[in-house]
Structure 1
């Protein structure tokens, strides 16, 4: 096992950071395209990740996944795409049947539902999560119930219990935020107070996912690091013993990843997504250490 796992200074019961690698983000990597399921999981573990963010394994694959995750000492978080409370109830039942789900990241697929209807749906999803005993966090994501920054702020103001998966790349690209105004920053900070998980991807205001450079030279990274740091600080204020803050490195394959032939087969990416993923892994651990000293 990679030494990164043994360098944590906190005890198991202390609030802690877990950095997960997106299983979606493993698609199409040159180094892993021909790899087996176990080889990909081993690659994630050896890189120093704490877990995988993916989907609930199917019944026929559940035992295999459980054994591999245990062998490589990795946790599992999953994604859900409900449109209704009934959809979420079914997903939660499946999660309980599988067991050992660290949290559920929820993209609520009702982008045109607003105001009281949206608030009631979000309230219902939260209540189902509480009843099932499985944490579920609503992701800030385009094309979902949290389609835009303003309406998501209104949900936070209406629902004291609403907890979020923070992914600011969606609001940066949707708002074409080449620069971050004071007004935008204030709205972002309102959402960061509800941080329960973080998805790592950087937008430049034109593309949703850009290469930040081998050492993070891209000027937009400073804004995302500020938001990740702020989210961690807010989370630490309310965290209890045993709580986990998941930080998911989520760099997607094409068409999220920019390619040299966007009109064609879109196979040759301009970025090394795996190396960028490792940069975000290191960045998450650094910021977590910095927030511990505040």
Structure 2
């Protein structure tokens, strides 16, 4: 993965300040790694964000495709919520160390469980922060249903307790958890915005974590609310860190994507929805990339 680090370094040098790197999710992907990487590259993406394939042949094909198409890599990780705490913690640490060896740009972690205690969830965050410092690879903890960060008030509790806790902001989860677009909650969102270092760009609403089509006019209010929050996070990060911000477009496939009854045909095209999110953010941020 040394080629990825060299490529990322060259991007930082050539872009300078106030740039965004866009990553495509492989969620629901049915293409070969080569074809998937080719499509992501031609669609304007800088990299992929994926769960690492387990098989050695798949991993070899992934490495070759990333190198061939000049793409960066984010990796996903998570806590196994179905195991007892101590066993889950040990598995989390072992898996995270294995991902570090790939030297990704970042690791996005779906951390802990809403059924674990505060101290138990803290243990996962502390393991991640220790390994992140040891390997010099950022680990960002995603705001996600079912995890320690499943709602806004509890996430603020963890942020206040753990000064080096860094987030991936997927605010679509909180829209459905709190059954609102979080209007009037900007004071509570302040610390979250300040500690968010990566974004998952998907549009949620009061009744679900993903609208059926972000281009549809009936979702314009939800779209603008998400874009406004994301823009503030990105511009504040640019101002503070003078670096490149990362965004993964993360509209999911059926059945996360709403489908027609009986046939389960998705009501819109997942790839087009994700590319649309990238284009809207570029337009919003006035990026000339």
Normalised by the length of structure 2, the TM-score is 0.84
The whole-number CA distance in structure 1 between the counterparts of 2:155 and 2:108 is 16
Deviation readout 1:62-81 (Å, 9 max, x if unpaired): 23211211111110101101
CA distance in 2, matches of 1:63, 1:215: 43
- Are the equivalent residues in 1 in contact too, given 2:25–2:250 (CA < 8 A)? yes
Structure with larger RCO (C-alpha < 8 A, sep 6+): 1
**Alignment match of 1:49 (pick from 45, 51, 65):** 45
Distance 1:229 1:217, change over 3 A: same
Secondary structure of the corresponding residue to residue 186 of structure 1 = helix
Checking the alignment, whether the CA contact within 8 Å between 1:167 and 1:201 is kept in structure 2 is: yes
- Higher helix share goes to which structure? 2
**Structure 2 unpaired stretches of 5+:** 1-10, 81-87
1:278 is matched with: 275
Cα distance in 2 for residues equivalent to 1:62 and 1:273: 24
- Whether the 8 Å contact between 2:96 and 2:128 is mirrored in structure 1 is no
Tell me how far 1:85 sits from its aligned partner: 4.2
Any unmatched runs of 5+ in structure 1? Answer: 1-7, 28-32
Q: Secondary structure at the match of 2:41?
A: helix
Correspondences of 1:17-56 after superposition (within 5 Å) = 17-24=20-27, 26-27=28-29, 33=30, 35-56=31-52
**Corresponding residue pairs, total:** 268
TM-superposed CA distance for 1:213, in Å, is 1.6
Change (3 A) 1:216 1:189: farther
Q: State the partner residue of 1:137.
A: 140
Whole-angstrom CA distance in 2 between matches of 1:199 and 1:161? 20
Aligned to 2:94: 90
TM-score, normalisation: structure 1: 0.83
- Kindly indicate whether the alpha-carbon contact (under 8 Å) linking 2:25 and 2:248 is maintained by their aligned counterparts in 1: yes
Q: Residues of 1 paired with 2:15 and 2:53: CA distance?
A: 26
Which of 217, 237, 240 is matched with 1:238 structurally? 240
Q: Deviations over 1:90-141 (max 9, x none)?
A: 12332233x2411110001422224343334322321222112221000000
What is the alpha-carbon distance in structure 1 between the residues aligned to residue 130 and residue 228 of structure 2? 31
Give the Å deviation of 1:252: 0.7
Q: For 2:205, what is the secondary structure of its paired residue?
A: coil
